[in-house]
Amino acid sequence: MLYPMTTPSRALIDLSGLWKFMIDKEVQPIDPKQPLPTEDVISVPASFNDQTASQEIREHVGYVWYETNFSIARALKSERLVLRFGSATHEAWVYLNGQEITHHKGGFTPFEVVINDYLNDGNNRLTVKLSNVLDYSTLPVGNYSESTDEDGHVVRHLDENFDFFNYAGLQRPVKIYSTPKDYIQDITIVPNVDLDRSSAEVEIKTQISDGLDNVKVTILDQNGHPVAEVSGTDSSVTLTDVRLWQPLNAYLYSAQVDGFKNGELVDSYSEAFGIRKIEVRDGQFLFNGQPFYFKGFGKHEDTYVHGRGFNEPVNVLDINLMKDMGANSFRTSHYPYSEEMMRLCDREGIVVIDETPAVGLMASFDFNLSILEQDDFEDDTWKTMKTAAAHKQVIQEIIDRDKNHACVAMWSIANEAATFSKGAHEYFKPLFDLARRLDPQKRPCTYTSIMMANPRTDKCIDLVDVIALNSYYGWYVGNGDLKTAEKATRDELLEYQAKFPEKPIIYTEYGADTVAGLHSNYGEPFSEEFQEDYYRMASKVFDEIPNFVGEQLWNFADFQTKFGIQRVQGNKKGIFTRSREPKMVVRYLKNRWTAIPNLGYKVKSDTQDQAKKLTTK
């Protein structure tokens, strides 16, 4: 799916700004044929939750309504006009001038609809009804129930089956873009790199509407100089002396695609891409032939006031803070992030593990590992969850959206699912197959596993290319006891390595809640001293394990969660506060990470030869 942008043949109208807003109390029906019966406003894009002083709005479960008005410049009227939502969380019904024009379920991926047939000459009223309900059929997963109040009205209850606040609303940009009537529908780019020759065969597939009869593709280097040209909707071009897209050293080419009709140029679109090769081999994650070491974070889209809403200055700051610390990567825990963030990472050379919103796929929580170790252990998860259809949809949508991004190095199919329970393999196998089939760049796939799933209990490790572990020894298991944690961490990693020697291992979560400003002479849990001791302990073990190729800690910053006795205004495992002030541990990690090279930190002998060849070029 193409990102909406202006080109010589396309215009863009941004509908950001103040929209009318109301929660639906479900007392009186709301008629989308009429203007919304409210004068209250909310800012778009952003979550609605933290923009008012009302607890009722903040914690509302059910439906909310948005409305804005726009008109279309006369010059654009003859064009094909597409209304596009960066996301609408979690389910949307869209009405234009009172008519329902589209519906989309899933709160973290874009969708669009052609609006020409519904437009008025003058003012147009765009109304959106949203639901923030999550249940056992949605991703993320929510524990949902209903009751009735004393007046007989339905009261909806949602207990999130995950550890982040259920922010919702029109959280990403809403835009209208124009294309000519005959237009370029999609572009797929696959670079096949020959590292020895410093060349690449770049495949470019273009989907076009029926009216176009020819396509010309010009490849431009990062300075905009043409380096190759080819025509046809299914073309391939060989580039020599290529500049590789490397972690923290990005280089972007672009494919300028021109669509023709009877020899006349009709539509143009320019898609950026990087040339890089990703392989998983012999317990290593190779980036352009060299062993890559992930240094970075699990994150959230979470900031004050914006909630989960698009906040570009904070995105820029976060990437700058990462680079300053010597970090090179993050995971889009626990849902696809905004397209703008992916485009930023393409430019900055930040490596992204791109995660679906599959979080909460676990019916029970129990650290009694001896029960789990029984071969036929089964909890209720795979009988209760009805998420397979939603899961397929999000895999399709995330790959469709992000397939060309150079920054995306791996797909994460789920976070902390009940992979230790009978039924998990049957559930996940088709999803991994689907992702592998759909991804034109055939990136590695993984899921991040919960501690209850270990080398003995996890039933799905055969499905992953990289073992990605969320581990909390010293925090949730043996809180405060770093000596025991060190041994447990080492033993577990060695066991994984021995059992699956060909699969590289990374940590996708490890961390300790830390209250900024809380200090302790005794390094007690929750203090900044404990957080630093905890990370020092983990780092020591990581460096001992040859197949351990990456540390993504939990979390980049403190973030908002649902209420809970373990959460004081949210999760405090950030190494930065929610407003991005550093906790003490940042200095330690900066020293560690700036000393660890992005490529070649843990080199095995055969890749050493390959690496030498490359560096002597």
The nearest distance, CB 558 to ligand BDP, in angstroms, is 10
Helix (H) or strand (E) run with residue 142 in it: strand 142-148
| C-alpha–C-alpha distance, residues 317 and 577, integer Å | 13
Binding to ligand BDP (CB under 6 A) within 544-573 occurs at: 554, 571, 573
Q: Which amino acid type is present at position 500?
A: F
60 binds ligand BDP (CB under 6 A): no
Place of tokens 């709160």: 107
Q: In the bound complex, what is the minimum distance in angstroms from residue 163's beta carbon to ligand BDP?
A: 4
Closer CB to ligand BDP, residue 127 or residue 333? 333
* Residue closer to ligand BDP, measured from CB, 247 or 574: 574
- x/- letters, 452..471, toward ligand BDP (CB under 6 A): ------------------x-
The least distance separating ligand BDP from the CB of residue 571, rounded to whole angstroms, comes to 5
Task: Single out the residue of 258, 267, 302, 416 in contact with ligand BDP (rule: CB under 6 A).
Answer: 416
**Phi, psi dihedral angles at 550 (to 5 degrees):** 180, 145
Please identify, using beta-carbon distances, which residue of 89 and 415 lies nearer to ligand BDP: 415
Q: Judged by CB under 6 A, does residue 381 bind ligand BDP?
A: no
Cα(289)–Cα(280) distance, integer angstroms: 10
Decide whether 416 or 465 has the Cβ nearer to ligand BDP.
416
- Residues in region 517-536 near ligand BDP by CB under 6 A: none
Query: 2 near 68, Cβ under 8 Å?
Result: no
Q: Does 412 bind ligand BDP (CB under 6 A)?
A: no
If binding is defined by CB under 6 A, does position 402 make contact with ligand BDP?
no
Q: In whole angstroms, how close is the CB of 538 to ligand BDP at the nearest point?
A: 15
68 makes contact with ligand BDP (CB under 6 A): no
Which of 191, 186, 135 shows the shortest CA–CA distance to 159?
135
Angle between helices 424-438 and 388-402 (to 10 degrees): 20
The yes or no reply on residue 299 touching ligand BDP (CB under 6 A) is no
Q: Of residues 290, 404, 415, 471, which one binds ligand BDP by CB under 6 A?
A: 415
According to the binding rule CB under 6 A, does residue 295 interact with ligand BDP?
no
Distance from C-alpha of 182 to C-alpha of 264, rounded to nearest angstrom:
12
Structure tokens at 512: 């300790």
By CB under 6 A, residue 354 contacts ligand BDP: no
Residue 299 has φ and ψ, to the nearest 5°, of: -130, -175
Size of the site for ligand BDP (CB under 6 A): 9
Distance (Å) of CA 19 to CA 109, 279, 354, 481: 21, 46, 31, 51
Q: Which residues are catalytic?
A: 416, 509
Using CB under 6 A, which of 163, 301, 302, 348 touches ligand BDP? 163
* Minimum CB distance to ligand BDP, residue 451 (Å): 8
Closest to 141 in 3D by CA, of 361, 399, 349: 361
Nearest alpha-carbon partner for 549 in 582, 516, 597, 595: 597
Query: Please, what is the minimum distance in Å from the beta carbon of residue 59 to ligand BDP?
Result: 20
CB of 334 to ligand BDP, least distance (A): 6
Please give, one letter per residue, the 3-state secondary structure of 536-601.
HHHHHHHCCCCCEEEEEEECCECECCCCECCECCCECCCCECCCCCECCHHHHHHHHHHHCCCECC
Q: Does 509 bind ligand BDP (CB under 6 A)?
A: yes
C-beta of 163 vs 379, nearer to ligand BDP: 163
Instruction: Supply 286's token pair.
Output: 């190779």
Backbone angles phi, psi at 37, to 5 degrees: -80, 60
The footprint of ligand BDP on residues 316-345 (CB under 6 A) is 334
Task: Summarize as ranges the residues that interact with ligand BDP (CB under 6 A).
Answer: 163, 334, 415-416, 470, 509, 554, 571, 573
